Amino acid sequence: MIGKRLGGRYEVEQRIGGGGMAVVYKAHDNLLNRTVALKILRSQFGHDDDFIGRFRREAQAAASLSHPNVVNVYDVGEEDDIQYIVMEYIEGLTLKELIIQKGKLDVEQAVHIAIQICDALEHAHHNHIIHRDIKPHNILIGSRGRVKVTDFGIARAVTSATITHTGSVIGSVHYFSPEQARGGISGEKSDLYSLGIVLYEMVTGQVPFSGDSPISVALKHLQENIIPPRELNPDIPQSLENVMLRALVKDPLHRYQSAKEMQRDLRTCLNPERLNEPPLVIEHDDDESTRVIPAITPEMMKQMEGKELFDEDDHRNSHRREGEKEKKPRKWVKSIAWISFLSAFFIAALYGFNFLIGIFYVPEVVTPRVEGMYLEEAVKVLKQKDLGYVIQERFNDEVPRDMVIRQTPPPSMRVKQKSEITLFVSKGQQQISMPDLVGLPERHIELQLEKFSKVNIERKPSNEYATGIVMAQEPGAGEMVTPSQTNVLISISSGKETVLMPELIGLTLEQAESVLVKNGLKKGKVKLEPSYVKKGIVFRQYPFQPGSQASPGAEIELAVSSGFPTDAKTVSEPVLVLLGDHPAADILILVTDARGKDIELVRRTIRQSDTFDVEVVLSPSQDATITIYKDGSLLEKRNIQYADVP
């Protein structure tokens, strides 16, 4: 498969993963010049028309999802009996790989990941798509920590085809909900149960149920209670354990009602006031508890039939014994009586049945589509169909206020007249209280601002706040804001304020003082010391060297030359330059002596021969060298020894 091109544009580069249903490859989209993930259905499923149809429909449904926490599906195709799905390529690792690397995750990190998974599930459920295979293997962690849920749709297609064709259940049994383990219908709450197991594994490092075979694990989902997470990891707060306990209730009625509700609980479970809340207790109705009823076998049916026949014979024999002394009626009289009785009974039953049908029969209607209508208009449409309605309001960032988000039952369903249609109506964008971020480390603000889409961060120096600490925010803490519309500005400390230390060496004392004041620094002690620098010139600065960072207002000590040392020797050396046949020449004279290297003393154009008095300064450890250049070429190099100078 490596090197093969699918759809005329997808160049397969390397295999990056795979499972029981498909193999995933990294590929390059030559048309759009981008890297993609290519999921290719295994060959044993590629010839089942029914499965392929379901697979493609579900993949297309998954492609309709557009959410930052859902892996985007770009394309679905077929070529040479190869069924493939083109998806967004995520650079990172799976949640399963992360758990294996760390053993178990920090509570804060696990909650942060679970909140993002809830966001993805809420979006999918809102679009009537159930994942059905939530597990760490299907959760991708991007290079920047962004969580991406993948395999929407294909898990649903696998389940449907499996139940239809084999009557069994295939999937990740360690993450099954009890209703999935029973082979029943899985819905939104099945995904929440699976998420509860993923959260359990993140904070404890192990799944709640394991066994020697898939059947034994499935039975544990149905019959056994989980080991409380805090027994495996005492660092888990009670509030977080309560979230897991509620998500993992075996009866779906007692779980979270939606992914949004679970997400709300996760967002606050690490708040200080909730950490030590009482353990969650789910009350069950004993009369409604699940019971295991054995299937009725043919042998049991035969036994039941034999018992019924035996009971009927006993009944007849007992009547016969009681009526032994009575005289038998004539057979024809008995037959007429029975015929008359049965005729009357059937006539009465027929009239009664028709009468009851007329009383209890309720006509059926087809539910109209009111999703996307404003509530007032939707109510009128339902009344025209003689249908009732129940309103449930929900906050929604995308649907305007008073508009119907979705309806239950969905459109085009046949229901009885007078039936109630549940309308989920938007309350508009939810306003929340702006969290208090001042004083928090930068790494903690991402979770606090996860709902906000317009966040700007600026960094400023501060002598009050340490590096990386939030020192100001806009809007302020406690203000009511709409996360999707509010512009948030966060000011983060870049550390103490500093200034760039200027170069003072070579300046006069007055010039150095002026530069210090201009840069917000102060002149410190001034020391006059002998030096081979010209008298009155700064030759040393302390403690900050040029180009380093200094604190504003810092005092800078200066060393100023008081003249040459007593052992210095000064010599004026005459240098004759002859012009010769040239009308003019460019002369350059450089001196290396105790004052420094290659000091430029003369740069001049002469038009006649001339003599230059070149002054050099020698020290016991430094002789002098005079280098003369004429029109860019070396003319002469003259050395002067300290010992030769009187």
Burial of 390 (0-12, 13-18, 19+ CB in 10 A): exposed
Which of 90-94, 414-418, 451-455, 587-591 shows the highest mean pLDDT? 587-591
Which secondary structure element, helix H or strand E, spans residue 568, and what is its range? Answer: none
Which of 414-423, 542-551, 582-591 shows the highest mean pLDDT? 582-591
End-to-end CA distance of the chain: 91
Residue among 352, 171, 199, 339 nearest 262 (CA): 199
Pairing of strands 569-577, 610-618: antiparallel
Please write the tens of the pLDDT for every residue from 212-225.
778 888 888 888 88
Provide the 8-state DSSP code for 526: E
Residue 296 pLDDT greater than 70, yes or no = no
Q: Domain 92-280 is in which class?
A: mainly alpha
Q: How confident is the model at residue 183 (pLDDT cuts 50, 70, 90)?
A: confident
Average pLDDT over residues 581-588: 90
In whole angstroms, what is the distance from residue 597 CA to residue 528 CA?
23
The token duo for 549 is 């960072």
Integer CA distances (angstroms), 49 to 44, 146, 164, 170, 180, in order: 12, 37, 13, 19, 25
In whole angstroms, what is the distance from residue 438 CA to residue 477 CA?
9
Integer CA distances (angstroms), 6 to 30, 79, 83, 88, 150, in order: 11, 7, 10, 16, 21
Residue among 57, 51, 85, 53 nearest 71 (CA): 85
Map out the domains of the chain as residue ranges. Answer: 5-88, 92-280, 364-426, 432-493, 499-561, 569-644
Cα torsion through 377, 381, 382, 385, rounded to 10: 170
Whether pTM > 0.75 for this model: the answer is no
Average pLDDT over residues 534-554: 88
Which secondary structure element, helix H or strand E, spans residue 259, and what is its range? Answer: helix 259-268
Q: How confident is the model at residue 20 (pLDDT cuts 50, 70, 90)?
A: low
More confident residue, 127 or 63: 127
**Could you tell me what percent of the chain has a pLDDT over 90?**
43
In whole angstroms, what is the distance from residue 288 CA to residue 284 CA?
8
Cα 573 to chain centroid distance, Å, stands at 78
Cα 97 to chain centroid distance, Å, stands at 16
Per the CB < 8 A criterion, the answer to whether 521 and 554 are in contact is yes
Active-site residue set: 133
Integer CA distances (angstroms), 474 to 73, 454, 468, 487, in order: 37, 12, 17, 8
Residue among 8, 15, 64 nearest 42 (CA): 15
Indicate the CATH number for domain 499-561: 3.30.10.20
In whole angstroms, what is the distance from residue 140 CA to residue 146 CA?
8
- Domain 5-88 CATH (choose: 3.40.50.150, 3.40.50.300, 3.30.200.20, 3.40.50.280): 3.30.200.20
Indicate the CATH number for domain 432-493: 3.30.10.20
Residue carrying structure tokens 């690490």: 270
Indicate the CATH number for domain 364-426: 3.30.10.20
Per-residue pLDDT at 461? 86
Residue among 445, 498, 436 nearest 468 (CA): 445
23-27, 314-318, 568-572: which has the minimum mean pLDDT?
Answer: 314-318
Provide the 8-state DSSP code for 431: P
* Crossing angle of the two packed helices 188-204 and 259-268, in degrees rounded to 10: 30
Please write the tens of the pLDDT for every residue from 149-165.
988 755 454 443 333 33
How many CB atoms neighbour CB 578 within 10 A? 12
Domains 5-88 and 569-644 share a fold: no
Residue 129 pLDDT greater than 90, yes or no = no
Task: Please name the fold of domain 569-644.
Answer: Immunoglobulin-like (2.60.40)
More confident residue, 56 or 97: 97
Per-residue pLDDT at 323? 42
What average pLDDT does the chain have?
82
Helix (H), strand (E) counts: the chain: 15, 30
